[in-house]
Amino acid sequence: MRTQVAIIGGGPSGLLLSQLLNRAGIETVVLERQTRSYVLGRIRAGVLERGCTDLLRRAGCGARMDNEGIIHDGTNLSTVNGMFRVDFKARVGETVMVYGQTEVTQDLYAAQDAIGATIVHEAQNVALHDLTTDAPYVTYEKDGRSHRLDCDYVAGCDGFHGISRQSIPADRRTEYERVYPFGWLGVLSRTAPAAEELIYANHPRGFALASMRNPQLSRYYLQVPLSDKVEDWTDQAFWDELRRRLPAKVAEGMETGPSIEKSIAPLRSFVTEPMRWGRLFLVGDAAHIVPPTGAKGLNLAASDVHYLFEALQAAFGGDAAALDGYSDRALRRIWGAMRFSWWMTSILHRFPGQDDFDQKIQEAELYQLETLESAQAAMARNYTGLPY
């Protein structure tokens, strides 16, 4: 089998790139290790920047998002001294969209099906070959049979644990990493959200986040030690601790109920450079991981897709040199988002060994954010998304 662009990974970044390329007349084949139902069962982020929503509309996948997504003009931050709001629209004239990643993936699958795109699920033992030549190819196994996929370029959209990044020689890539000494315990529940907009809470007992997916589906998080396990937390224990960390007025009126999903995610910051090796281009989590505090994971993947789509479109139009700038363009924006996610994480979480002085410094930082318009403008610009 032959195609123009082989896409490794059928998550939202791989599907979005495939959708954009096919609509531009460029053929793709997507290879996904898991089943479609597994991909759609992943619970992930739900806050989309304008750049991401614009790209989904450009791909012909924005109708349901525009109908069901929830526009947020700002967000709330809470400390032991009270809660305040940062108004994104007032500060920088931008908003964000609350629309779950699962819904985005469903929309992308539907769009890919409608145009007859080729997606191979349960593709096992994927391997990338001859990436520094003019004739790269991919091998994989499906239903016990070996297959070869010849292509012009390979897009590695297969996440942090995928084969794409590992296909770049270790001595040709530089990896930067910060592993945080805590995780997020997340609960999804069929309950009304605790507030109309997200609440990020700094509390001496640890960070908490009150989020949502839609008016009947809420997503909540608690900072927990990495030694904790999901089984350690009953639903009742989760709700009790969440109430302690959220503002009292919010906690009193919060609707609770059985969890329909519960998991613990470790937090890390990770970037690999460069994002290109020959005819292989890394996209999304294959190249970078951000802590979820700044809501940047899916949004950074979308900006990578934007840059790579533009470069590939130019290359197939005769300007192969356009691909040379992909890695540098993507990394400039990635490091900006990395800094913001690190900052949000550092001012909101309780770190091991943190004493009362450290807590007061965090509260002073948050007080400046509450009282200085310039600080709010900087946060609003980063949260709603740096320009592409």
Give pLDDT tens digits for 328-346: 999 999 999 999 999 999 9
Token code pair at residue 372: 């200085």
Whether the pLDDT of residue 128 is over 90: the answer is yes
Q: What is the pLDDT of residues 114-123, one digit of tens each?
A: 999 999 999 9
Selecting among 72, 203, 306, 349, the annotated active-site residue is 72
Neighbours of 256 (CB within 10 A): 18
Give the pLDDT score at 267.
96
CB atoms under 10 Å from CB of 122, counted, come to 15
Q: Is the pLDDT of residue 45 over 80?
A: no
- 111's tokens: 């769009």
Phi, psi of 43 (to 5 degrees): -100, 120
What is the rounded average pLDDT for all residues in the chain? 96
Confidence of residue 81 (pLDDT cuts 50, 70, 90): confident
Domains assigned to the chain: 5-72+96-177+268-344 (3.50.50.60), 179-266+349-384 (3.30.9.10)
Q: 105 pLDDT exceeds 90?
A: yes
What mean pLDDT do residues 41-53 have? 88
Residue 80 region by backbone torsions, left for phi larger than 0, else alpha for psi between -120 and 50, else beta: alpha
Average of pLDDT values for 350-365?
92
To which residue do tokens 């989590």 refer? 285
| Tokens representing residue 192 in the block | 């009304």
Catalytic residue among 109, 140, 292, 307: 292
Spot the catalytic one: 203, 288, 296, 349: 296
| pLDDT value for 196 | 94
CA-wise closest residue to 291 among 314, 312, 268: 268
What three-state secondary structure class fits 130?
A: coil
Is the pLDDT assigned to residue 152 strictly greater than 80?
Answer: yes
Q: pLDDT tens across 290-301, in order? A: 999 999 999 999
Question: What does pTM read for this prediction?
Answer: 0.94
Average pLDDT over residues 303-307: 98
SS3 64: helix
CA–CA dist 319, 313 (Å, integer)? 9
Q: Is 296 a catalytic residue?
A: yes
Go through 46-67 and write b for each residue having 16 or more CB atoms within 10 A of its CB, e for each that does not: bbbbbbbbbbbeebebbeebee
Query: Over the stretch 192-207, which tens digit does the pLDDT of each residue have?
Result: 999 999 999 999 999 9
Using a pLDDT cut of 70, give the percent of the chain over it.
Answer: 100
The pLDDT of 257-285, averaged and rounded, is: 96
pLDDT reported for residue 147: 98
**Is 200 assigned a catalytic role?**
yes
**DSSP designation for 322:** G
**Is a pLDDT exceeding 90 seen at residue 256?**
yes
- Per-residue pLDDT at 44: 74
- Residue 98 CB contacts under 8 Å (≥ 6 apart), including other chains: 46, 47, 48, 69, 70, 71, 72, 211, 212, 213, 214
Q: What is the pLDDT, as a whole number, of residue 80?
A: 86
The reported pLDDT for the residue numbered 374 is: 97
Q: What's the pLDDT score for residue 262?
A: 95
Check 109, 180, 200, 326 and give the catalytic one.
Answer: 200
Q: Residue 41 has what pLDDT? A: 83
Q: Each residue of 373-386: pLDDT tens digit?
A: 999 999 999 999 99
- Going by pLDDT thresholds of 50, 70 and 90, the confidence category of residue 281 is very high
Closest CA to 278 of 144, 135, 106: 135
